[in-house]
Structure 1
Amino acid sequence: MMPGTAPDIAAIERQVRPLIAARRFEEAEAQVFPYLASGSGPLALWKLLAAAIRPQGRIGETRAIQEMLVAHAPGDFPARFDLSETLLLQGEFERGWREYRYRYSLAHTSIIERKVQQPRWDGRPIPGKTLLIHDEQGFGDTFQFMRMVPWAKARSGARVVLEVNAEILSLAQRSQGFDDIVVRGSLPPAFDLHCEMMSLPMAMSLTLAELPGQIPYLSADPQRFGKWRERLADLPRPLVALVWAGRPTHFNDANRSITLAQFAPLARPGMTFLSIQKGPAAKQATAPPPGMSLVSLSDDIHDFEDTAAILSTADLLISVDSSPVHLAGALGRPVWVMLPFVPDWRWLLERTDTPWYPQTRLFRQTARGDWGGVTAAMAHVLAGW
């Protein structure tokens, strides 16, 4: 580029975006940075730079760029959402939740936003009114934020109607904080205000100090629990449930999922591992790592009720970041979570525990892609567990 010449942004993006997609973040940074070395440049290139440095764990630098982007283009809602995830990752809940409301302003999320005619609840008391609280996004999100439904009931003084996916209806029916419960897709009773489950933190100004609240807030079905306890009764304890892959369609799946073979360091004599893996990765259980006594339960898990009953019977869940982690946490069961170098915002930074679930321990990558270090740390702790 000649001095004084405006950069060809489209050409730079064509060059850099494939590098980011291929997780070659250092190369992407090297391509973009020269255009911004003076400290100024097109916002589109600053966005590219942020996308290249955040996965490298440079969260402070990323936030500075994101703050600048939002200040210069407050109507750029994707930039505001990116900032929200960084703020939440840093534990700055107050502003983080406010910016998180822009999550449905992205190209790939606008189609799943509920277009509700009634106003969104803002946390004020509304005695005599009916409040619809509805789930959104993934199952793990619902399990995580269902704890707030009783809080919303107490704060609002309203009649609360809870709407959830059919897959978790029976689990939700045994929770608290609602007067009526309906399945998503059916017609809810008349309501005056609504709130998405993950907008409750913004409405109620959730702080870290208020977590975790009452644990457990979900429970296994007694009949299913009895069935699985009987089925697993003769297996040598401890019983350690395993999940090594999340939903393949998740946008961040490549960053969070591993293979069963990578669990090899965890194998211990006299310890029984239970595969509760679902989806295409479940077939890996037919060839467990050497020395690992693995029983696959995957084919007999028909719904989350089975998963909840197994987790309530097992002594421990070891899992990548997936919905069973949140289900186990909501059940008050012990969980060890394997986290990538830059994790999802809800796991915060550096700490080995989480305010969301008291019985959960976090094992983090210390270098990008280094699952070997995570399983080695887990194996060390497991040996004395």
Structure 2
Amino acid sequence: MNAAPINLAAVEPQLRALLAAGRGAEVEAWIKPHLASGSGPVSLWLLLAHALRVQGRVAESLPIQQMVADQMPGDLAVRFDLAETRLLLGDFERGWREYAFRYSLPHTSRIERKVQRPRWDGRPIPGKTLLIHDEQGYGDTFQFMRMVAWAQARSQARLVFDVNRETAGLASRMQGHDGITLRGDLPPAFDFHCELMSLPMIMGLQLADLPGEPMPYLQALPERRAVWRERLAPYPGLKIAFLWAGRPSHPNDANRSMTLEMLKPLAQAGVSLFSIQKGPAEAQALTPPPGMPVVSLSADIRDFEDTAAILSEVDLLISIDSSPVHLAGALGRPAWVMLPFLPDWRWLLEREDSPWYPSMRLFRQKEWGGWVGVVERVALSLGELRRQI
């Protein structure tokens, strides 16, 4: 017997609220009778795919997303969601192709760079100038900076890297470019261009290519390291930098962030905790929970050069998914990353390591919202590390 007709416009907000709360099994159970015939509204199929992802059944969501994309190739939001699923599953070849639709969405089209030069297609262009321009967030920039040197080698061109001001100092000291220009300034004349995160598609990046050389590919300023080395020297034991919250405007922030109170198990004998939290949550470190001594460095962190120097002087970074995590990885510094049950695509699934960063260890939620178990495992591992030193 077919399910009764539904008013999808009325019920969809309720289903999305359940999904945001991680109640994917309930949404799946509600939807399936309405799709039992094998047909139904596209939006209902996409909600089913989302419900499967929320339950950690990402591979099962893929054929649904692919079916909808095949039927509606002009729906670029569907194509972008498909890209993230393929990348999360490690299917880089098809995932990067779909990822090209990232600037065709209503909320992203306004930030696309309009460039009146041809996009580089990966072929050698000796004697020409290639402009690589960064995009999106700081973490994306740190993660994909490694490919600038690869693009220079492949293109045989004079390569100019157009980068945001906040990361330009670090970028200026890495290999693989002939000059740096700042985002928003008029770049020098160039013949071809490419977005930083289009390089994986153009260059055919595969998992086996990671992490690539050179590794690490960023270095902290020696003079900044000296300043922070002196600042941190009086504190005994293992020196741990940490943060617990991301940018509140991030679409997945509710799932990736926590509170300082939740990290109280990190307070252990022989461990000095240094908050490098920035943004609204940094104030929590000024009044930490009882029994959790925290030294807040946040007010004295002027830029990513300070963050890089701190990460180069402490023993370990413990963090949620954040831009300092990618900076630590690019610096080759040890980092433990606490991930939500449904992580961002770049962390893949199940594995405890990251192919992007050899110095990184991943601690994943085992159920939706399960930060308590994650923190317990991090605290246990921290105790083991302390005993080894």
Normalised by the length of structure 2, the TM-score is: 0.95
- Residue in structure 1 matched with residue 244 of structure 2 by the alignment: 244
- The one-letter code matched in structure 2 to 1:167 is E
- Residue in structure 2 matched with residue 258 of structure 1 by the alignment: 258
Runs of 4+ in 1 over 6 A off after TM superposition: none
- Residue in structure 1 matched with residue 103 of structure 2 by the alignment: 104
- The one-letter code matched in structure 2 to 1:283 is A
Q: Aligned partners of 1:13, 1:185: CA distance in 2, in Å?
A: 41
Q: Secondary structure at the residue paired with 1:384?
A: helix
- Residue in structure 2 matched with residue 199 of structure 1 by the alignment: 198
Q: Secondary structure at the residue paired with 2:130?
A: strand
- The one-letter code matched in structure 1 to 2:192 is L
- Residue in structure 1 matched with residue 142 of structure 2 by the alignment: 143
Larger displacement relative to structure 2 (363-372 or 171-180): 171-180
Q: Aligned partners of 1:23, 1:104: CA distance in 2, in Å?
A: 28
Contact 1:12 1:32 in 2 (8 A): no
Contact 1:16 1:32 in 2 (8 A): no
5 Å-filtered alignment, 1:176-325, equals: 176-213=175-212, 214-325=214-325
Shift of residue 190, structure 1, vs aligned partner: 1.3
Q: Aligned partners of 1:192, 1:12: CA distance in 2, in Å?
A: 52
- Residue in structure 1 matched with residue 35 of structure 2 by the alignment: 36
Shift of residue 7, structure 1, vs aligned partner: 4.7
Q: Aligned partners of 1:23, 1:371: CA distance in 2, in Å?
A: 13
Q: 1:15 to 1:318 in 2, by over 3 A?
A: closer
Larger displacement relative to structure 2 (291-300 or 247-256): 291-300
Larger displacement relative to structure 2 (338-347 or 14-23): 14-23
Shift of residue 14, structure 1, vs aligned partner: 4.3
Q: Aligned partners of 2:375, 2:94: CA distance in 1, in Å?
A: 35
Q: Aligned partners of 1:14, 1:220: CA distance in 2, in Å?
A: 47
Larger displacement relative to structure 2 (26-35 or 331-340): 26-35
Q: Aligned partners of 2:137, 2:211: CA distance in 1, in Å?
A: 20
- Residue in structure 2 matched with residue 330 of structure 1 by the alignment: 330
- Residue in structure 1 matched with residue 348 of structure 2 by the alignment: 348
Q: Secondary structure at the residue paired with 1:293?
A: coil
Q: 1:292 to 1:16 in 2, by over 3 A?
A: closer
Contact 2:328 2:334 in 1 (8 A): yes
Q: Secondary structure at the residue paired with 2:177?
A: coil
- The one-letter code matched in structure 1 to 2:28 is E
Shift of residue 204, structure 1, vs aligned partner: 0.4
Shift of residue 19, structure 1, vs aligned partner: 3.4
Q: Secondary structure at the residue paired with 1:336?
A: strand
* Structure 1 stretches lacking a partner, 5+ long: none
Q: Aligned partners of 1:190, 1:320: CA distance in 2, in Å?
A: 40
Contact 2:211 2:357 in 1 (8 A): yes
Q: Aligned partners of 1:174, 1:15: CA distance in 2, in Å?
A: 50
Contact 1:131 1:192 in 2 (8 A): yes
Q: Secondary structure at the residue paired with 1:358?
A: strand
1:212-247 residue CA offsets vs partner (Å, 9 max, x unmatched): 112111111111111000111111121000110011
1:108-157 residue CA offsets vs partner (Å, 9 max, x unmatched): 11111111121211211111111110110000000000000000000001
- Residue in structure 1 matched with residue 47 of structure 2 by the alignment: 48
Shift of residue 256, structure 1, vs aligned partner: 0.2
5 Å-filtered alignment, 1:30-179, equals: 30-179=29-178
Q: Aligned partners of 1:24, 1:222: CA distance in 2, in Å?
A: 49
Q: Secondary structure at the residue paired with 1:337?
A: strand
Contact 1:263 1:289 in 2 (8 A): no
Q: Secondary structure at the residue paired with 1:38?
A: coil
Shift of residue 48, structure 1, vs aligned partner: 1.8
Q: Secondary structure at the residue paired with 2:373?
A: helix
Shift of residue 292, structure 1, vs aligned partner: 2.9
Contact 2:163 2:182 in 1 (8 A): yes
Shift of residue 54, structure 1, vs aligned partner: 1.2
* Structure 2 stretches lacking a partner, 5+ long: none
Contact 1:269 1:291 in 2 (8 A): no
- The one-letter code matched in structure 2 to 1:239 is K
Q: Aligned partners of 2:366, 2:40: CA distance in 1, in Å?
A: 33
- The one-letter code matched in structure 1 to 2:62 is R
The RMSD of aligned alpha carbons is 1.6
- The one-letter code matched in structure 2 to 1:130 is T
Q: Aligned partners of 1:40, 1:242: CA distance in 2, in Å?
A: 49
Contact 1:271 1:293 in 2 (8 A): no
Shift of residue 301, structure 1, vs aligned partner: 0.5
Contact 2:23 2:54 in 1 (8 A): no
Identity of aligned residues (%): 65
1:346-383 residue CA offsets vs partner (Å, 9 max, x unmatched): 00110000100001000000011000100111111111
